[in-house]
Structure 1
């Protein structure tokens, strides 16, 4: 978005558009950015844990809620032994802040435990 704003400012400087038109264009850019962020917050963060002992967990969080929970507590509100606690929650928070889509965690232990975290 920064490059687009710089282009708009350059057009004002070159006299190609008025300051008022530039303000409208920049406002439209911010509205587009805000809409894009809101769309991401409505995505679902899915946590899937399959234990070699037969314990299974499938939890779905709206991204907006997952961000709030992780930033407030530093963990997910589910218990499943070391499979969940071994995930780097700071990296997960960074992925959420960067609006990453797709599988962000895919761990398979030597014992057969599987942990997957996906944003869809």
Structure 2
């Protein structure tokens, strides 16, 4: 059950092959995952972004209580990744 005041991070991935991934996670949970190095959606051999810098941006966005789209990435193959704070 979601508490009405609870903030969420939404990650949306729209792949060029038609796959769609939508993830919603509570901000406090994401903070704990980042602190424990388990928020690894963007780690891998084909990283399109600097994962550490992206996670730092997320933490700053959480600290400043930002909302809305905080990251929008488009790969040359057509994949789109969005990170949104509600």
Q: Which residue of 2 aligns with 1:116?
A: 82
**Number of paired residues?**
78
Large movers: runs of 4+ above 6 Å: none
- Structure 2: gaps (5+ residues): none
Are the structure 2 counterparts of residues 79 and 89 from structure 1 closer, same or farther at C-alpha, using a change threshold of 3 Å?
closer
* Greater relative contact order structure (CA < 8 Å, 6+ sep): 2
Q: Which residue of 2 aligns with 1:62?
A: 26
The structure with the greater share of residues assigned to helix is: 1
- Is the 8 Å Cα contact of residues 74 and 89 (structure 1) preserved in structure 2? no
Q: Which residue of 1 aligns with 2:64?
A: 98
What TM-score do the two structures reach when normalised by structure 2?
0.73
Q: Secondary structure at the match of 2:18?
A: coil
Distance of 1:91 and 1:55 partners within structure 2: 26
Specify the structure having the higher radius of gyration (Cα).
Answer: 1
The structure with the greater share of residues assigned to strand is: 2
